[in-house]
A = this chain, B = another copy of it.
Amino acid sequence: KTITTDKALVRVQDLIPEKADQLIWLRARVHTSRAKGKQCFLVLRQQQFNVQALVAVGDHASKQMVKFAANITKESIVDVEAFVKKVEQKIESCSQQDVELHIERIFVISQAEPRLPLQLEDAVRPDGEGEEEGRATVNQDTKLDNRVIDLRTTTSQAIFRLQSGVCQLFRDTLTKKGFVEIQTPKIISAASEGGANVFTVSYFKTSAYLAQSPQLYKQMCICADFDKVFCVGPVFRAEDSNTHRHLTEFVGLDIEMAFNYHYHEVIDSITDTMVQIFKGLRDNFQTEIQTVNKQFPSEPFKFLEPTLRLEYTEAVAMLREAGVEMGDEDDLSTPNEKLLGRLVKEKYDTDFYVLDKYPLAVRPFYTMPDPNIPKYSNSYDMFMRGEEILSGAQRVHDAQLLTERAIHHQIDLEKIKAYIDSFRYGAPPHGGGGIGLERVCMLYLGLHNVRQTSMFPRDPKRLTP
């Protein structure tokens, strides 16, 4: 390699008592700084790790140097040369509690502006804590407006490292099961699901749309013999919904597969994938989970093996027993969805379950009807902590039946011609579903707003940063 240097930089988390009395170089942010007479105390930070450092007038530091250090703005990046020193009393406020740094030299690599739009310690303060002392918390819009700083907090670092883990666990599990990753186009010529809630794009001399889901393309890959496919990518919804769980752009984790005998093969593949994700998070992301819990306390996420599968009729019965009035073929309202989640948790002690066999009337036209009871369908939703994270179904794979279903739904056949034509040259029985990444992260961690688990969220009112 071409790089040589006489200063090897160490990492903050490696500053342990075994390094005592060594002279080291370190690059870190100035987390806090406090001058006190002839000394300046700094806390130096790298991601979630920090260490106390001291510049004191003496053999190696002049009065001017102490003054210089004291004037370095918070969040600036510095290189320091320092001796590692054991401390007698643990430094409770730092991740490195047993040592501090005695600084010999200090250089500013990148200077932060003196006025920060938000303070990191305010941004990680749990709701209500320190209110009596008049300490501030930071509201969500201020956090999002200044995301570059907000993402530096221990909470944000933990959330997005865990999110990276969800994607990896999703893909690794499916790859092991023989799935192939596909890339589907986001600019499409026709709005596949009828045209509502779709963003329009100017496309040279014509116009196009942003894909509301990769479903058509996943299904085409099944018709093209890829057998089992998945994709991870943006999904666009032009819904003017300003709720805690809707975004106009989110990341879809999508699955589609041919099955041999029964669409429950698809449900089993998806639920097993979710269980592998839950286990991987539990086993490998405990630090991140606990870091988030410090600011946003929640119960550990519970799941069963095998995953609980309820039929829609059972759910309706449970809701009716709890006093809800609803018809057999009514869809679940959001409050009933949440209530059902609580009832299921009480009865089965799980935060994750599948609701199978939805009424045909409340599902899209391409949903396969139940062959035995025509008012139901081979379709399912999956829920985490009582909120929907996946919607899926066996799809109609016969062009003739698909045409009939589209007519029944009064869909303009001309607009979905390409979709229907995909099934004219032999199509195996198949099914799948789409998972919202941000919702999975939000609900796994017990958070209450999907904007917390989207790095740069997009909603009807937010397009920046």
Binding site for B on A (CB under 8 A): 1-3, 5, 9, 27, 29, 46-47, 75-77, 109-113, 116, 147-152, 156-157, 160-161, 163-164, 167-168, 171, 175, 180-189, 199-204, 206, 208, 210, 217, 220-221, 223-227, 232-234, 236, 238, 240, 248-249, 251, 260-262, 264-265, 268, 306, 397-398, 418, 422-429, 437, 454-456, 458, 460, 463-465
Contact = CB atoms under 8 A, between A and B. Distances in A.
Contacts of A148: 220, 223-224, 422, 425
A64 B118 CA distance: 81
A54 to B, nearest CB: 21
9 contacts: A3-B264, A3-B265, A75-B426, A148-B220, A152-B224, A183-B455, A187-B249, A204-B460, A220-B456
Question: What 5 A-B pairs are tightest by C-beta distance, nearest first?
Answer: A151-B224, A189-B463, A112-B426, A164-B181, A112-B425
Nearest to A398: B110
Contacts of A3: 261-262, 264-265, 268
Given A167-B181, A171-B168, A455-B217, A226 B427 contact: no
Given A147-B220, A233-B234, 19 more contacts: A47-B227, A77-B427, A109-B429, A110-B423, A111-B426, A112-B425, A148-B220, A148-B223, A150-B224, A160-B182, A168-B181, A183-B234, A183-B437, A184-B455, A184-B456, A189-B463, A189-B464, A208-B463, A221-B455
Given A110-B397, A151-B224, A199-B203, A29 B455 contact: no
A149 B437 contact: no
A187 B425 contact: no
Residue with the greatest number of chain B CB neighbours at <10 A, chosen from A251, A455, A460: A455
A186 B220 contact: no
Contacts of A248: 187, 203
A39 to B, nearest CB: 23
Nearest to A222: B148
B204 A240 contact: yes
Contact of A161 (B149, B160, B180, B463): B180
Nearest to A157: B225
Nearest to A461: B204
Contact of A77 (B168, B206, B426, B464): B426
Nearest to A418: B465
A187 B463 contact: yes
B424 A113 contact: yes
Nearest to A156: B224
A260 B366 CA distance: 54
A224 B426 contact: no
Contacts of A397: 110
A326 B38 CA distance: 62
Contacts of A425: 75, 112-113, 116, 148-149
A26 B125 CA distance: 61
Nearest to A200: B202
A426 B29 contact: yes
A284 to B, nearest CB: 12
B110 A428 contact: yes
